[in-house]
């Protein structure tokens, strides 16, 4: 009776491979094999070597993963960009008077070092925040928001404004925007 040197299953002389583990067998192995008394096990006729490292395959996979990452992150960023564009295109309101000029035109025309950021304050409150430096050198922070489950195209309101870290009232904000409109020549 002969046994597989790999798994110990019964093998016959005519077997080319073990029916249990699939290891290739030689006629010598089936007849009793080359038993090494020093090592205490049957020697395989040939060792199975791992596939060599494929640099091209690795680079291709890495590029595909990076492309997927950038595609997903750009898709996720779209809603925030839409909010920012919607606020920038909202007509400026001075008190009860609505103008033909947008918030984006005034703020981008009157301020430098501008930045727009969209975020969710909570599940029902979306916020677009503007920061910039006015022509007079004042640091400006303005927050626009709308609440509810309405679309991003619904009206946005200016709800908070500060100049150089000091919160200002609605009347002061209206005056600031009037001056900005006058200075930029958009009025």
Which among 180, 181, 179, 160 has a CA at the least distance from the CA of 169? 160
* Mean of all residue pLDDT scores within the chain: 76
Using one digit for the tens of pLDDT, what is the confidence trace for 18-58?
888 888 876 555 445 444 334 444 445 455 556 777 888 88
Euclidean distance between CA atoms 45 and 33, whole angstroms: 9
Q: What is the pLDDT of residues 109-147, one digit of tens each?
A: 999 999 998 888 776 778 889 999 999 999 999 998 875
Domain locations in the chain as residue ranges: 1-49, 83-184
User: Model confidence over 160-170: pLDDT tens digits?
Assistant: 999 999 999 88
Measured CA to CA in angstroms, residue 93 lies from 85, 111, 112, 174, 175 at distances of 17, 18, 22, 8, 11
Taking residues 69-83, what's their average pLDDT? 61
């Amino acid at each position: 009776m002969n046994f597989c040197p790999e798994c110990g299953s019964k093998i016959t002389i005519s077997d080319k491979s073990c029916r249990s583990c699939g290891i290739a067998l030689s006629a010598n192995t089936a007849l009793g094999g080359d038993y090494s008394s020093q090592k205490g096990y049957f020697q395989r006729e040939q060792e199975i070597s791992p596939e060599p490292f494929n640099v091209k395959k690795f680079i291709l996979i890495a590029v595909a993963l990076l492309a997927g990452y950038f595609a997903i992150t750009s898709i996720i960023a779209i809603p925030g960009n839409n909010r920012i564009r919607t606020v920038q295109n909202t007509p400026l309101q001075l008190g009860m008077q609505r103008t033909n000029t947008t918030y984006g035109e005034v703020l981008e025309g009157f301020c430098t070092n501008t930045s727009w950021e969209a975020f969710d304050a909570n599940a029902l409150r979306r916020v677009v925040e503007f920061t910039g430096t006015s022509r007079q050198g004042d640091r400006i922070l303005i927050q626009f928001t709308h609440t509810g489950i309405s679309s991003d195209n619904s009206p946005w309101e200016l709800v908070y404004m500060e100049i150089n870290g000091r919160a200002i009232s609605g009347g002061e904000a209206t005056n600031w925007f009037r001056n900005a409109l006058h200075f930029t020549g958009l009025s």
